[in-house]
Structure 1
Amino acid sequence: MPARRSIAGTLALLGAGVAAVSVVLALLLVRVFDSLLLAGLVAIGVGLLLSMWVMRRASRPVRSLFRALAGTALSYRDGDFSFGLRWPHHDELGDLVAAHNELGGVLREQRLGLAQRELLLDTMVQNTPVAMLLVADGGHVVYANLAARRLLNEGRKIEGLALATLVQAAPPALSEALDRTGDGLFSVGDGDEEEVYHLARRGFRLNGRPHELLLLRQLTTELRRQEVQTWKKVIRVISHELNNSLAPVASLAHSGAELTRRGQTQKLESIFAMIEERARHLEGFIRGYARFAKLPSPRLEATPWTVLVDRLRSQITFAVDGALPPEAVRVDVPQMEQALLNLLKNAHESGSAPEDVQLRVRRGSGLLRIEVLDRGTGMGEAVLANALVPFYSTKRSGTGLGLALAREIAEAHGGRIGLANREGGGLQVSLVLPVSDD
């Protein structure tokens, strides 16, 4: 390794050399001009010119190095870390070049690692079954994975397109779910082709600007698996309830027969009363399940909204948000009354204050939206995904039929039901029915 030298030492040697040359030149010029002053002035002038030439020549490699440093810094700014520098001298500038090259190496390694992680993350995001959409504040799609492209644009690229334009060609249920605020559950299609989705929305700031991330998760397979588990559960519930009622009835009937045989009839009345009580309990239990399983086709009749609301208010308290539509609604009144009554009861049991339980009715182009609102605890993602499954309940004594029956009634009327958590807490249950604009 060559001996280390400093820039200051090199400059000192050059200055000493120029000074020595100037002194020697002055001694020689004294003999020529025969004047010490004139010889000194000439020697000084020549020394200044010589020092300027020496400094310019000596600084030429340094200036080239500085230009190279500026160029590599600009390349680093543009994300190109492939450049390196070479300095032949072992001095302070050599240390600077070595540190610069080491920085470039570190940045190259970091860039390579970051590129590998980005590739892995993009591969995972693109191939996930969850449709992911990143929407800017103006409503344009910034990023979308393959599932989102298939859902909204038949697999074609949708980055840069307006979300409002994309949802115009989407199924009405999807368009309606995207128009709502907050998370929600909705279904697309009918019958065996029905697909159930869960929509989650998350807002955040990216590069100082507000963005929203939309996640659309298909729950059809999970719900069908849950339905199988639910049917197993309901069979266990019915079996348990039948055993709890039939075993005492059989025991009481045997006791009654034994007392009759002995002629002790004074206790028969209480035995018969207990048998009747158990039979009526079992009858009510079976009737509740039969009502769900044997829902008849709706008999539509035009009914003013004031009549339907008065029927509901005779059974439960709630407030009406806004004005009711002046047009009569064509529904099966007993069925719709039962569906709304179930939803209003759930709202009261959600932990909401009674005055916050509201009924809102809105009529749009070809659609009637009936909403039941509360300010309770809302629903978690798992409960929201399973709330409409028959016999699914988080209540200890619940049958899991309230929302399921409301869904069956809505679909029997050609409509659908949707659930969404409200901003500020609470739940919004929407019954959407088709209506004629005539």
Structure 2
Amino acid sequence: MEQTHRKLTHRAGLAIGVSLALACLPVGFLVSWPVWLWTTLSAWILACVVLKLLLKPFLQTLDALQVGLLNFKDGDFSNQLAYQSNDDFGDLCRLYNDTAQQLRTEKQWLYQREMMLDKMLQSAPQALLLVNDQEVVVFANPSAQRLLGSSSPLEGSKVADLTHGVPKEIMHAITQHTDGLVSVKSPHSEEQIWHSAVGKLILNNQPHSLYIFKQLTRELNRQEVAVWKKVIRVISHELNNSLGPISSMLHSGKIIANKLDESRLNRVFSTIDERIEHLCEFIQGYGTFAKLPVPQIKKVELLPLLDAMQMQWPCTVSCEVSVVHADRGQLEQLLINLLKNAHESGSQPGSIELDIVAIPKGVKFRVSDSGPGMTQAVLTNALVPFYSTKASGSGLGLALCREIIDAHNGHISISNRAEGGLMVEVILPD
């Protein structure tokens, strides 16, 4: 800027000198040349001093504009120019100040929007993974970290180095840019269905790939359970419509049998009555699954609840949590079903364990037994309604557990223990 000032001053001084020399040239014919020269030189020096004084505000304004534009280049829009005269430079300074104010407002708005977008991406249930053309991870949200089995941020890691802890189906979907459904199979839990979406975008003039993985397991399970519930409601309605007239006719038949004093008829009617009662209980059990009410989430004291259950289903309890937030009735039904299954596995009461521990953002219930465990085929279908390996089982115990957990936005998993037996883990969120 100083060099610009010198050039501008030199050019202005030269222009003034030439102008004064030309203006005073006729005077040179009237006076002597030395007088003319000194007069012209004095006038030029005086004009330069006056010019410098006049140019000083202008040069200061140029300095301020240059500093302000350099700040613009660096992304700083906080400077304001103090020159407020009613001239062309004042208009220019006011235009600069208005531009700085508008850019400052837009920068703040963009920053807030970026913060909101970052918050949404970080808390999104979908796993988001952004990879550049060098196969280096640029962005990965917490859901992506959990999906890829990493406890630390993935930014800066190469995709080829993410093999440890990553399901092979997910890694195959990333390397092959799969766009569609991905089935992830695990020996310790049920099969999970993910939807993989791949998009291409340009970021900082470089091509990037955006992978979005959305878990569909719970949604598919809900749709499947919804279909089962509809079937149960239709069957229950038809059975109830038939049982009503049968019960009425049975009552009339009992009256006639008593009048005739026919013991064989009484035995027949008693057997029919017993089977009708059993069928009603059967329908009522399925109706509970089909019409599970919305949970009323409240504080539940665990110790009184566990003491009451141990009277019927004894087990070894380890509880690190005193209070959970859940529907008390549904939580009790959940634990009863799990402990009942553990007892029916052939385990001794002392080998059945119920562990309740606190985890980040929730509580984990773990029920373990020492029974024979389950085959892979049974593990895959254990949570499906009506599926049972017991001769007298209805196939609704674990299905009802999953329905209760889904209603609480929790998670349930079933796996065989390495030392033998079965382990069911239930996670309830805070």
Bin the TM-score by the shorter chain: 0.3 to 0.5
TM-score by length of 2: 0.46
TM-score by length of 1: 0.46
Q: Which has the higher contact order (CA 8 A, sep 6+)?
A: 1
